[in-house]
Structure 1
Amino acid sequence: MGDVDVFYSPYDPAVNDEPYSVYARLRAEAPLYHNTDLGFWALSRHADVSAALSDSGLLSSDHGPLLDPGAWGTHVRTFLSFVAMDPPEHTRMRAAISRGFTPRRVAALEPMIRQIARGHIERAVERGTFDFARDFAAVLPLDVISELVGVPPSERARVRRDSRSILEYDPQGTMSEDGVKGVVSLGGYYSSIVAERRAAPRDDLVSALVADDDLTDEEIVAFLFLLIGAGAETTTHLLSAAWYWAWRNPDQRAAAFAGAIERWTEESLRYDTPAHGTARRLTRDFEWYGTRVPENAKVWLLIGSANRDERVFPDPDVYDLNRDTARAISFGAGRHYCLGGPLARLEGRVALEELTRAVAPDYDIDPTGIRRTAHGNVRGMVRLPTSVKRA
Structure 2
Amino acid sequence: MTISEVRLDPYNYDFHEDPYPYYKRLRDEAPLYRNEELGFWALSRHADVLKGFRNSTTLSNKFGVSLDPASRGPHASKTMSFLAMDDPAHLRLRTLVSKGFTPRRIRELEPRVTEIAVTHLDAMLEQATTGDAVDYVDEFAGKLPMDVISELMGVPDADRVQVRAWADAVMHRDDGVTDVPDSAIEASLNLIVYYQEMVAERRKKLTDDLTSALLEAEIDGDRLTDDEIIGFMFLMVIAGNETTTKLLANAAFWGHRNPDQLTSVYQDLARVPLWVEETLRFDTSSQILARTVSGELTLYDTTIPDGDVVLLLPGSAHRDERVFENPDDYVIGREIGSKLMSFGSGAHFCLGAHLARMEARVALAELFKRIRGYEVDEANAVRVHSSNVRGFAHLPIRVEIR
With the shorter chain as reference, the TM-score category is over 0.9
Inter-partner Cα distance in structure 1 for 2:97 and 2:173: 28
- The yes-or-no answer on 1:239 pairing with 2:253 is no
Deviation at residue 274 of structure 1 after TM alignment: 0.5
Are 1:295 and 2:306 matched, yes or no? yes
**What SS does structure 2 have at the residue aligned with 1:292?**
strand
Alignment pair present for 1:137 and 2:141: yes
Q: TM-score, normalised by structure 1?
A: 0.98
Structure 1, unpaired ranges of 5+ = none
Report the Cα distance in structure 2 between the residues aligned to 1:306 and 1:135, rounded to whole angstroms: 32
Partner residue of 2:155? Answer: 151
Structure 1 moving runs of 4+ over 4 Å? none
Q: Percent identity of the aligned residues?
A: 44
| In structure 1, distance between residues paired with 2:224 and 2:119 | 35
What secondary structure sits across from 1:74 in the alignment?
coil
In the TM superposition, 1:242-321 aligns within 5 A as: 242-258=251-267, 259=269, 260-321=271-332
Q: Which residue type is aligned with residue 157 of structure 2?
A: P
Query: Is the CA contact 1:165–1:176 (under 8 Å) kept in the aligned structure 2?
Result: no
Measure the CA separation in 2 of the matches of 1:281 and 1:11.
19
Query: Offset at 1:133?
Result: 1.4
Question: Which SS does the other structure have where 2:372 is aligned?
Answer: coil
Name structure 2 gaps, 5 residues minimum.
none
| 8 Å CA contact retained: 1:173, 1:374 | no
Q: Which residue of 1 aligns with 2:66?
A: 66
The amino acid of 1:314's aligned partner reads E
Partner of residue 13, structure 1: 13
Deviation at 1:3, TM superposition (A): 4.4
Q: 2:358 aligns with which of 346, 351, 356?
A: 346
TM-score relative to the length of structure 2: 0.95
Which secondary structure does the structure 2 equivalent of 1:382 belong to?
A: strand
Q: Aligned partners of 1:358, 1:50: CA distance in 2, in Å?
A: 39
Amino acid of the structure 2 residue aligned with 1:275? S
Aligned to 1:75: 75
State the partner residue of 1:201: 206
Is it true that 1:185 corresponds to 2:190 in the alignment?
A: yes
Instruction: Look up the SS of the partner of 2:62 in the other structure.
Output: coil
Alpha-carbon distance in structure 2 between the residues aligned to 1:176 and 1:350: 34
Q: Is the 8 A contact 1:68 1:375 kept in 2?
A: no
One-letter code aligned to 1:319? Y
Residue in 2 aligned with 1:49? 49
Q: Shift of residue 372 of structure 1?
A: 1.4
Q: What is the aligned partner in structure 2 of residue 124 from structure 1?
A: 124
Shift of 1:256: 2.2
Q: Distance in 2 between matches of 1:194 and 1:347?
A: 25
User: What is the alpha-carbon distance in structure 1 between the residues aligned to residue 34 and residue 386 of structure 2?
Assistant: 19
Partner of 1:63: helix, strand, or coil?
Answer: coil
Matched, 1:336 2:348: yes
Tell me if the contact between 2:70 and 2:180 (Cα under 8 Å) persists in the aligned partners.
Answer: no
Determine the C-alpha separation between the residues in 1 that align with 2:248 and 2:3: 39
Q: Deviations over 1:86-109 (max 9, x none)?
A: 000000000001110111001111
User: What code does the residue aligned with 1:169 have?
Assistant: R
Query: What is the rounded CA distance, in whole Å, between the counterparts of 1:86 and 1:372 in structure 2?
Result: 33
**Distance in 2 (alpha carbons) for counterparts of 1:371 and 1:68:** 22
Q: What are the Cα deviations for residues 39-84 of structure 1, in whole angstroms up to 9, with x where unaligned?
A: 0000000000001101111100001000112211111111110000
Q: Partner of 1:387: helix, strand, or coil?
A: strand
What is the root-mean-square deviation in Å for CA atoms of aligned residues? 1.1
Cα shift at 1:277 = 1.1
Residue matched to 2:336: 325
